[in-house]
């Protein structure tokens, strides 16, 4: 007797893993390679992975039983991401999964054009060169876009609402992130209508973060908007501590910044994106993906 189990990809487009059972024949062990651009000891990243594993398990795929999952953690290092991408591909996985910062999925795309790749939480997958367009990504890449730059202006409005005496706002961003530049332009455009002077400071390391605070916290009536990326995520406790020390009202993109003591956050729920990605990341190495990249940008506010 032969049966085939279909796992639905993003937007309903399907790619399947054939599961053949003949008598006592066991199902073959499948393999998933996961490349995270964050650190393995980051609790939020671990929480997201747990959500992904739970979603896979609900679909009948349990790590160590019928699927093997190999992890690599780049810890914000783009060169390391490229090395790890090659290592994962050499393991010949059935599908590859990458998170957050475009550097991780980009490293996989550069290394293979045949193994299916699923990404999550990429603000601008087209601008990052990962897909041709959202409707028809093409090639071997699909995933979830959070579209976060579209709500940057709303974040600024919320910050002004809770700090009406604020007359200037500093945006902390990662210079190499294309989506951060788009978000900065949105805030730069929106700021004058709220009576705010907006400035931007790029950070690539903890030292950059400390120097930035030392510079922009000198003057009164300031506020802070922090864009999420590998540097700001892995150093969020430092940022939250410095914002509190300098009495700066601050808004962040992800809820875990607020959970860790930040004033407020406004943006999509990354955990929900990982939950949905679990239902999309099981893909066949025999079938080229033709799925629609889905945007999950419904924001929520956390205090």
DSSP 224-271: EEE--SHHHHHTHHHHHHHHHHTT--EEESSHHHHHTT-SEEEE--HH
Residues 196 and 263 in one domain: yes
Nearest to 127 by CA among 298, 238, 293: 293
Residues 258 and 274 in one domain: no
Q: CA dihedral in degrees (177, 178, 179, 184; nearest 10)? A: 90
Structural domain contains residue 18: yes
Structural domain contains residue 302: no
Domain residue limits at 194: 149-267
Structural domain contains residue 180: yes
Q: How many domains does the chain have?
A: 2
Average pLDDT of 2-10? 34
If pLDDT is split at 50, 70 and 90, which confidence band does 302 have?
low
Q: At what angle do helices 270-278 and 43-58 cross, to 10 degrees?
A: 30
Residues 103 and 159 in one domain: no
62-71, 119-128, 168-177: least confident range: 119-128
The residue whose two tokens read 């002077």 is 197
The residue whose two tokens read 């059972």 is 21
Helices (H) and strands (E) in the chain, counts: 10, 14
Residues 104 and 216 in one domain: no
CATH number, residue 84? 3.40.50.2300
Note whether 181 and 49 are within 8 A (CB). no
Structural domain contains residue 133: yes
If pLDDT is split at 50, 70 and 90, which confidence band does 240 have?
very high
Average pLDDT of 275-294? 47
Structural domain contains residue 201: yes
Residues 251 and 275 in one domain: no
Tokens in use for 14? 């399907």
Residues 102 and 233 in one domain: no
Residues 280 and 261 in one domain: no
pLDDT digits (tens, 9 = 90+) for 216-229: 988 899 999 999 88
On the CB side of 21, CA atoms within 13 Å amount to 6
Nearest to 231 by CA among 298, 155, 174: 174
Residues 133 and 236 in one domain: no
43-47, 143-147, 183-187, 193-197: least confident range: 143-147
Residues 86 and 226 in one domain: no
Residues 114 and 34 in one domain: yes
Longest dimension (CA), the chain: 75
DSSP 82-99: HHHHHHHHHT--SEEEE-
Three-state secondary-structure class, residue 235: coil
Three-state secondary-structure class, residue 287: coil
* Residue 24 clears pLDDT 60, i.e. is over it: no
How confident is the model at residue 21, as a pLDDT?
A: 39
Classify residue 188 by its DSSP letter. Answer: H
* Residue 190 clears pLDDT 70, i.e. is over it: yes
Residues 9 and 143 in one domain: yes
Structural domain contains residue 210: yes
Average pLDDT of 253-280? 80
Structural domain contains residue 127: yes
Classify residue 49 by its DSSP letter. Answer: H
Structural domain contains residue 303: no
pTM (two decimals): 0.65
Exposure of 16 by Cβ count < 10 A (0-12 exposed, 13-18 middle, 19+ buried)? Answer: middle
> In 10 A of CB 223, how many CB atoms?
25
Residues 141 and 16 in one domain: yes
């Amino acid at each position: 007797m032969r049966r085939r189990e279909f796992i639905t990809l993003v937007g309903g487009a399907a790619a399947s893993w054939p599961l053949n059972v003949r008598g006592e024949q066991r199902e073959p062990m499948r393999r998933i390679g996961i490349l995270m651009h964050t650190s393995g000891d980051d609790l939020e990243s671990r929480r997201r992975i747990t959500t992904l594993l739970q979603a896979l398990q609900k679909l009948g795929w349990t790590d160590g039983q019928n699927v093997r999952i190999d992890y690599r953690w780049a810890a914000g290092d783009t060169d390391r991401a490229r090395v790890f991408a090659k290592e994962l591909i050499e393991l010949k996985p059935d599908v590859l999964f990458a998170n957050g910062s475009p550097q991780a999925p980009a490293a996989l795309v550069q290394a293979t054009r045949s193994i299916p790749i699923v990404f999550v939480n990429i603000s601008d997958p087209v601008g990052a060169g990962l897909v041709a367009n959202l409707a028809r990504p093409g090639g071997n890449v699909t995933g979830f876009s959070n579209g976060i730059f579209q709500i940057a202006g709303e974040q600024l409005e919320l910050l002004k609402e809770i700090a009406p005496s604020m007359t200037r706002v500093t945006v902390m961003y990662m210079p190499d992130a294309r989506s951060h530049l788009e978000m900065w332009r949105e805030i730069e455009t929106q700021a004058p209508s709220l009576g705010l002077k907006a400035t931007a400071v790029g950070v690539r390391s903890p030292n950059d973060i400390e120097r930035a605070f030392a510079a922009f916290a000198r003057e009164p009536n300031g506020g802070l908007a922090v864009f999420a990326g590998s540097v700001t995520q892995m150093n969020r406790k430092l940022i939250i501590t410095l914002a509190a020390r300098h009495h700066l009202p601050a808004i962040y993109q992800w809820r875990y910044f607020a959970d860790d003591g930040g004033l407020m956050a406004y943006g999509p729920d990354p955990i929900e994106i990982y939950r949905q990605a679990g239902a999309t990341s099981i893909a066949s190495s025999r079938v080229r993906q033709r799925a629609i990249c889905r945007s999950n940008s419904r924001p929520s506010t956390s205090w």
